[in-house]
Amino acid sequence: MLEIIKQPWPWYIAGPLVGLTVPALLIIGNKSFGISASLRHTCAMCLPANIAFFKYDWKKEIWNMFFVLGILIGGVIAYSFLSNPDPISINANLKTELATYGVTNISGMLPEQLFSWENLFTLKGFFMMVIGGFFIGFGSRYAGGCTSGHAISGLSNLQLPSLIATCCFFVGGLIMANLILPFILSL
């Protein structure tokens, strides 16, 4: 059984399991699936500042904090006990292209030559982690939710704003991966 859990699951099993979280949350607690709202709840809990955006009854949304905590704990358990020791398998052409940018150690999910404390203090690392993190946070707030909230929950509820946001996420991802990322990696 443990070997089955350790292997990547096919899309026709993993997809419906993720998709079933939306109706389960709606049926069990009349809640919407999304992760980015937890940052707002955390700020409302921890910042007693007089900011209108954080003045609401965050205790009604405490379930979301437990949900995020469960994701964190699940990630730690999966990493600690279910990690695949085999190297990450990527396309040879991608490996060659990454090598031209100085990324040669692709032994983990996050290449250390891009995502490390040492790299944070370089121009490339600053763009990748600080500026990129800001844009992800800003984009999630501006779009009224993150990719998981819009693409999984919003689309299943047939919400037009979620369809527009999801299309923009994909277009932005294509532009980033094909135009902006090569420039940043060449810094």
Residue-wise pLDDT for 63-73, tens only, equals 888 988 998 99
- 62 in the same domain as 6: yes
**Residue 78 sits in which domain range?**
1-83
How far apart, in whole angstroms, are the C-alpha atoms of residue 82 and residue 76? 10
3-state SS class at 51? coil
Cβ-based burial of 45 (10 A; exposed 0-12, middle 13-18, buried ≥19): middle
Closest of 148, 128, 134 to residue 64, by C-alpha: 148
- 63 in the same domain as 128: no
- 127 in the same domain as 53: no
For residue 128, being part of any structural domain is answered with yes
> Among the listed ranges 7-16, 60-69, 84-93, which one has the minimum average pLDDT value?
84-93
Domain boundary pick from 83, 99, 130: 83
- 59 in the same domain as 10: yes
For residue 51, being part of any structural domain is answered with yes
- 120 in the same domain as 78: no
How far apart, in whole angstroms, are the C-alpha atoms of residue 6 and residue 85? 10
For residue 40, being part of any structural domain is answered with yes
Residue 23 sits at φ, ψ, to 5 deg, of -65, -30
- 75 in the same domain as 121: no
Number of domains in the chain: 2
What pTM does this model have?
0.72
For residue 59, being part of any structural domain is answered with yes
Q: What is the pLDDT of residue 9?
A: 85
How far apart, in whole angstroms, are the C-alpha atoms of residue 169 and residue 146? 9
Q: What is the pLDDT of residue 178?
A: 93
Q: What is the pLDDT of residue 126?
A: 92
For residue 138, being part of any structural domain is answered with yes
For residue 100, being part of any structural domain is answered with no
- The CA radius of gyration of the chain, in Å to the nearest whole number, is 19
- 60 in the same domain as 130: no
On the question of pLDDT at 34 being above 80, the answer is no
On the question of pLDDT at 84 being above 80, the answer is no
On the question of pLDDT at 171 being above 90, the answer is yes
On the question of pLDDT at 179 being above 90, the answer is yes
Percent of residues, the chain, with pLDDT higher than 70? 99
Q: What is the pLDDT of residue 148?
A: 79
Higher-confidence residue: 48 or 149?
149
Q: What is the mean pLDDT of residues 103-113?
A: 83
**Distances from the Cα of 38 to the Cαs of 44, 76, 112, 141, 154, in angstroms?**
10, 19, 28, 12, 17
- 64 in the same domain as 132: no
For residue 161, being part of any structural domain is answered with yes
3-state SS class at 156? helix
Q: What is the pLDDT of residue 96?
A: 93
On the question of pLDDT at 56 being above 90, the answer is no
Angle subtended at Cα 54 by Cα 49 and Cα 55, rounded to the nearest 5 degrees: 90
For residue 154, being part of any structural domain is answered with yes
Q: CB pairs under 8 A, 24+ apart, for 75-83?
A: 82/2, 82/5, 82/6
Closest of 44, 64, 65 to residue 53, by C-alpha: 44
Contact 65, 38 (CB under 8 A): yes
Q: What is the pLDDT of residue 123?
A: 92
